[in-house]
Amino acid sequence: MTVREIKLSPNPVKSTHLATFRAEGSGIAGLKVEVFNLEGMKVSEEEASGNTLRFYAVDNKGRPLANGVYLYVVRVRGFDGREYVSEVRKLVIMR
């Protein structure tokens, strides 16, 4: 598996409440996105097959995330069983 780039669009997330995470590379079986508040508490975790994950900006209980800055990590699974973990990045929600 190779991961060339991980993209988040749009960032900031606005009124649509939807963002798309995409891993570009080869041999990608799935993605897992973990979102944390600025205190480090995990507020959302979503997983999808393939190289794209649609993120609806909701917490683990299905409630919309509040406006603000969040941190996220993307875990990419390969068909070969390997895992790539991105650096910590910022996600901004502005509704």
Q: Where are the domains of the chain?
A: 2-93
Query: What is the CATH number assigned to the segment(s) 2-93?
Result: 2.60.40.2550
Residues 81-93 as b/e (b if ≥16 CB within 10 A, e otherwise) read: eeebebeeeebeb
* Residuewise pLDDT in 10s, the chain (95 residues): 999 999 999 999 987 778 999 999 999 999 999 999 999 999 999 999 999 999 999 999 999 999 999 999 999 999 999 999 999 999 999 98
pTM: 0.93
